[in-house]
Amino acid sequence: GAGVSQSPSNKVTEKGKDVELRCDPISGHTALYWYRQSLGQGLEFLIYFQGNSAPDKSGLPSDRFSAERTGGSVSTLTIQRTQQEDSAVYLCASSPPSGSVRGELFFGEGSRLTVL
């Protein structure tokens, strides 16, 4: 596809369950970002992958959150033992190599997570 693809678009889960969110970036984009956005709020940085460099995990809110990026392409964000405060839209974005300096992030449509 031409854009960033995220799945699932909607996920409803029960408190305590684990969830996985997937992101397929734009082909050729070396940088991949995960943000989350709670209702009416701005974007909260979670994690950033750039090529083969070690990811910047400084935004992950707790050790229940983890992410990996396989083969420099697809990324999976995993939330273990979900809590109600994890409910948000999880946005993935990708950019070309120097895109983060130019601010050229291309966002997917997001995965809306609801924890009951």
Partner 1 sequence: QKEVEQNSGPLSVPEGAIASLNCTYSDRGSQSFFWYRQYSGKSPELIMSIYSNGDKEDGRFTAQLNKASQYVSLLIRDSQPSDSATYLCAYSMDTGRRALTFGSGTRLQVQP
**Minimum CB distance to partner 1 smaller for 82 or for 111:** 111
Whose Cβ is closer to partner 1: residue 48's or residue 65's?
48
In the bound complex, what is the minimum distance in angstroms from residue 112's beta carbon to partner 1? Answer: 10
Q: How many helices (H) and strands (E) does the chain have?
A: 1, 10
Report, in Å, the least distance between residue 48 CB and partner 1: 4
Find the helix or strand (DSSP H, E) in which 85 lies.
none
CA–CA separation, 87 and 84 (whole Å): 6
Residue closer to partner 1, measured from CB, 46 or 115: 46
